[in-house]
Every structure is written in structure tokens, then in C-alpha cells.
Structure 1
């Protein structure tokens, strides 16, 4: 094995080089700071290779995992859910490359998915990546903030490598980050934001900057074509993210991304949430900020449209929607409560994504 000019481990069969080029090709239009992200990926890749050598594991596999660990951030510039979103992005990239066995794919993707779960112990490659990410974090220019769990892990891995390190103070704000509650009235905020956005009559074409904002979460290179006249769920996802109802682009182990209505339906019916309600069942009445899922409203397909409820008066709903009636623009529309309604999603104001199951990439 050797290092190339960009600091990436090379091997005889050149799999790392092919992954390297595939990740570089994800840069697309680019964003400010993208090259800094690339240096981070390269640094983590090299630290992962070093740790794998120390621990008797496959250096190449560890290096590739490190190179891909932040591919979603590199593609989109979005920092939310680095583990789940990068695993989802890497899954598609690696399947297209067809360079890895099913076992290797599982190792790579599970390691990426669990990279931020420092408080838990996973398999050897997952732990290698966690440690490599942490070493890169404190080795990068600028002040590195670590919480108590990270500080303890950092101390042990630095000792393992025989590296000197500063005595990083535990950051109390980082420890309490997950405990902060800014969730009051999120459904109201969601409706307010959706109403304001839908009124702008956004057109679903890449020339419309507002549409590009709605599409920015999805790493597909052809996302504008994919979502053309098919972006009602992407509109809902964007509105949720903007008001602090944050979700990864695909709920773990589910078939579809949240750019599709079916993914919202599956998520709302999952054991983690239980947010789905049938209309009038048990006296349920939709309210401002609920999501409405339609049934065969615009096609012969089930759950074919989604919107955000602004009000419910008698038998009529006022709804903010993207891609109104598949006409490729946003708007606010009156809908009959008696026609083509599958049900509603009422997201709890204090909901926070917290996946506790085992991630299965396939």
C-alpha cells in the first residue's frame, strides 16, 4: 500500500482509487468549504487505515470507509445526520461501482451509519471509524470541542497510537446538546412556514432558486429530473427541516426516501412514532400543522399526494402543497375532507429522531 499525492491510501487492485474518483465526481456544482470537507475525508481515511493496521484489520476496507464517511456532506454541504445520510449516499455509490462483496458493503455502510454513536460499542470497523473521525476532529485547524464521552475515547486511542495530545476540556454545551428543547409549537411553526412558502408559487424547475432549496437535501445528480412534477413530499421535508423537525433523508431500514409520500406514510406508522391517524377515527380532527396524505387524488396509485394542513373548517381543508395537482408549482388550495383522504400525520411537538434498532443496509 502507498499514499498518493492527495494523501489517500492506494492498493494494487485500485479499489480506493475508484472510490476516490467516484466521491470526487459527487462535487457537482460545489459549495464554499467543499475542499475543506474533502481534506477531512482524506484525513479520516488515513487515520482509519492506521488504526486498522494496529488492530489487525483490513487497511483498505477501513480507508474506504473513512473516505466515504462524510460523502453526504461533501455532496450537499448539509451536516445533519452525517451517519445515516452518508450511509444512504454511499450505498447507492458502492452498488453502482460493483467492487465489493455483500459482506464488505455491510461493513462499510454500518460503520458509516454508526459513526456518531460514541456512547455505544459496535463492531471493529465501526469503532475504527469512530476513533478516526475523532482524531481528525482534534487534529484539524481551529478549536476542537469534545464532550465527555469523546474525551475519554480520545484519551484511549491516542495512548494506543503513542501520540501526544492536548488535555481537551469536556464541553458542557456539547454534553447537553441533546437535552435542549426548542420544540415548543413546532406544528404551528411548520404551518406558518409552509403557508408562507407555498404562497410564493414556486415552479419546479432548476432555474427557480426556491425549488433548488427544496431539492438541496437529496444527493442524486439528476434530482431535478427525478422530482419534476413529483415534489409534494420534498416540499414537506424541506418545511419540516426548516422549523426543526429533523429527519434523515431515509428512515433507517425503510424502502423509500422521504422525497416520496410512501416514506412519510411508513415513518408515521412505525413503532417509533405512531403519528398516523385515520380521519374521524376516535373523534380525530386534523389541525394546523398536521400532514394530510391523499388516496388516489391525482392518479390510480395509493398515497399519491401530501400537503400541510393550514386549517380545517367543517368538511373542508386549507392545505399548503408543493406540486399542486401535479402542475409543478406550489400553492394553497381547498380540499374536500370527504374525498380521497387516506389519513393524517400529527408529529409530536417534542419529537426527535432517535433510531434504536439495528441498521440493515439491504
Structure 2
């Protein structure tokens, strides 16, 4: 099985275990949408597409495992690291890259490595695209504005 497919299988199992239908629906939509947007932005920015897509799949995994969003980025980095190590398909360097991006993804007001920025931007854009006629959240507005410009959207 390809590596993205192996991670998708883990994510699907975690999301499907949620008890509320809305959590399951939003979990699939959000995690897969962020993953796809990560892949698109990684292609455009010449970053590792496979690892970016995987970071997108796993970026909120702690929140879906526990139902707790408090400190979900930092806790999620550890949860993602554990999943990736258990799959035994990734090098430590790859796990570090993915985990670091997840750890930093809630820090939307800070600029990190180009790879980390792919996940932050994909997450902000997906939040905005859920309700595209509503102004983006204040902490994501500048990112969404820059992304729209980068993508040639008025």
C-alpha cells in the first residue's frame, strides 16, 4: 500500500470512531480537504507533495482521537509521530518534518519553514472555503488574503 493510503486508513479509523455524526462528517471533509490543499500548494511551491499531503491528513488528528482541541497542534505532533512510527514506512527525517509542521500549524501569525507554511496556509484556506462569503477568521485573514493573491483570485 502506498504511504498516503496507509495514513488515510489510520485517519479513517480514528474519524469513524467519533460518536457524533457532525464530527465524523467534518473530520473527513476537513482533514482530506487540508491534505488536498497541501498537495496543491506543495506542488506550486516546490515542496514535498507526499509529505505535505500526509501532514494535512494528520494535522488535527489529536482533536479527533480525543475530542479535545486544547493545545491540539502540539499534542497532535506527538500523536502523528506515533502513528507514523508505528506504520514503519517513514524515515525519522520525514517524521520530523511532518511533526514539526503539525506542531506549528496553529501559529498562523508566525512564519516558519516553507514546508510548515504549506500546512498553515492549507488549513487557513480550508477554514475560509467552508464559508467563502464570510470574512476569514481574524487570525487567518492575512494568510487568506496572501493566498488569494498567490492563486490569482480576486
- Using structure 2 for the length normalisation, give the TM-score: 0.90
Q: Aligned partners of 1:77, 1:136: CA distance in 2, in Å? A: 20
Higher helix share: 2
1:67-106 per-position Cα deviation (integer Å, ceiling 9, x unaligned) = 0001112222222112112111111111100111111111
- Select which of 100, 112, 118 maps to 2:102: 112
Instruction: Tell me which residue corresponds to 2:3.
Output: 15
Contact persistence 2:135–2:141 (CA under 8 A): no
In structure 2, what is the equivalent of residue 70 of structure 1? 60
Counterpart position of 2:142: 152
Unmatched tracts of structure 2, length 5 or more? none
Of 9, 14, 26, which residue of structure 2 is paired with 1:26?
A: 14
| 1:262-281 equivalence runs, <5 A | none
Shift of 1:144: 5.8
Distance in 2, matches of 1:90 and 1:25, equals 14
Q: Which has the larger radius of gyration?
A: 1
1:246-289 deviation line (CA, Å, top 9, x unaligned): xxxxxxxxxxxxxxxxxxxxxxxxxxxxxxxxxxxxxxxxxxxx
Please give the alpha-carbon distance, in whole angstroms, between the structure 2 residues aligned to 1:45 and 1:28: 18
Residues 158-181 of structure 1: CA distance to partner in whole angstroms, max 9, x if unpaired? Answer: 1111234xxxxxxxxxxxxxxxxx
On the 8 A contact 1:49/1:59 being kept in 2, the answer is yes
Q: Which protein is richer in strand relative to its size? A: 1
Aligned residue number for residue 52 of structure 1 = 42
Superposed, which structure 2 residues align to 1:190-201 within 5 Å? none
CA contact (8 A) 1:28 1:75 kept: no
Scaled by the length of structure 1, the TM-score of the pair is 0.40
Q: Is the 8 A contact 2:136 2:144 kept in 1?
A: no
Cα offset, 1:145, TM superposition: 4.6
Please state how far the C-alpha of 1:50 moved relative to its aligned partner: 0.4
Deviation at 1:31, TM superposition (A): 2.3
Q: Give the Å deviation of 1:24.
A: 1.4
Per-residue CA deviations over 1:180-234 (Å, capped at 9, x if unaligned) read xxxxxxxxxxxxxxxxxxxxxxxxxxxxxxxxxxxxxxxxxxxxxxxxxxxxxxx
Structure 1 counterpart SS, 2:140: helix
**Contact 2:15–2:28 (CA<8 Å) still a contact in 1?**
no
Q: Which has the higher contact order (CA 8 A, sep 6+)?
A: 2
Match of 1:117, SS?
coil
Equivalence map 1:1-362=2 (5 Å):
14-27=2-15, 29-32=17-20, 33-141=23-131, 143=134, 145-147=136-138, 149-164=139-154
Residues in 1 aligned to 2:48 and 2:87: alpha-carbon distance in whole angstroms? 20
